[in-house]
Amino acid sequence: GVGGLTVFREIVKVRPDARYIYVADDAGFPYGDQPETMLIARIIDVLGEAIVEHRPDLAVIACNTASTLALAELRARFSVPFVGTVPAIKPACGQSKTKRVSVLGTRATVSREYTRALIREFAAGCEVALIGSAHLAACAEAELSGKPAADDVISPEINGCFIDDGRRTDTVVLACTHYPLLIERFKTLAPWPVTWLDPAPAIARRVADLLQTRPPAATPALPPQIVFTSGK
């Protein structure tokens, strides 16, 4: 889907000289509810074809579901460096003042052992609530296409993030790359102000680090190219 655009817009700021191929697996959208074995096979197939055709210096997996599920397998199969997108639990817990953090993602992402392992390793004394949404990714797609979802559709999806038992939630991790497209809606509908943590800037910094040995191109970059798996 379009969630990867929130990552792309940050990466292009740090390496505007690069040539970008955006692979949109729209034929496979949404990933969240698909069986894991089928999804791993699909991700490997789609990326494998893209790597053969475009021979990239680096591949960014701009999807939490795909990264938490298939990143290890991708790194085992391909020599191209991969940058994944995983829930930003470590920085969220590091900056939380109330030590109450929520992770808002797809049901698939928040149910994964990968996500729970991040909490065990990096919670640092924080209480971390996992909130899985079935509808927000589709709401973000609609928002971008000019057909915003009603408030009463979005509100129930985020309400579980807000816990007040003497310590209020102060940080919400956006654990789906679609969700930053809705961040202004979230701010409006939130019962109190929180920090909404978008991982995209950190992903961009990691890309810049990995590509620092590749000097800026001498000629202007070619326009970004988008490839739809549906053939549209």
Write out pLDDT tens, residues 78-88.
999 999 999 99
74-78, 175-179, 228-232, range with the lowest pLDDT:
228-232
Write out pLDDT tens, residues 16-72.
999 999 999 988 887 767 788 999 999 999 999 999 999 999 999 999 889 988 999
Look at residue 126 and tell me whether its pLDDT is greater than 90.
yes
Name the catalytic one among 63, 93, 126, 139: 63
Write out pLDDT tens, residues 128-187.
999 999 899 999 989 988 999 999 999 999 999 999 998 999 999 999 999 999 999 999
Look at residue 220 and tell me whether its pLDDT is greater than 80.
no
Name the catalytic one among 93, 126, 139, 176: 176
Look at residue 193 and tell me whether its pLDDT is greater than 90.
yes
What's the confidence (pLDDT) of residue 197? 97
Confirm whether 176 is a catalytic residue: yes
What's the confidence (pLDDT) of residue 36? 87
- Residues paired with residue 100 on neighbouring β-strands, in sequence order: 127
Mean pLDDT of 91-114: 93
Q: Which residue has the tokens 């943590």?
A: 197
Three state DSSP letters for the chain: CCCHHHHHHHHHHHCCCCCCEEEECHHHCCCCCCCHHHHHHHHHHHHHHHHHHHCCCCEECCCHHHHHHHHHHHHHHCCCCEECCCCCHHHHHHHCCCCEEEEEEEHHHHHCHHHHHHHHHHCCCCEEEEEEECCHHHHHHHHHCCCCCCHHHHHHHHHHHCCECCCECCEEEEECCCHHHHHHHHHHHCCCCCEEECCHHHHHHHHHHHCCCCCCCCCCCCCCEEEECCCC
15-19, 105-109, 152-156, 218-222, range with the lowest pLDDT:
218-222
What's the confidence (pLDDT) of residue 124? 86
Confirm whether 63 is a catalytic residue: yes
Q: Tell me the pTM.
A: 0.88
Contacts 24+ apart (CB under 8 A), 11-18: 11/60, 11/200, 11/203, 11/204, 11/207, 12/224, 13/204, 14/204, 14/205, 14/207, 14/208, 15/207, 15/208, 15/211, 15/216, 16/221, 17/216, 17/217, 17/220, 17/221, 18/211, 18/217, 18/221
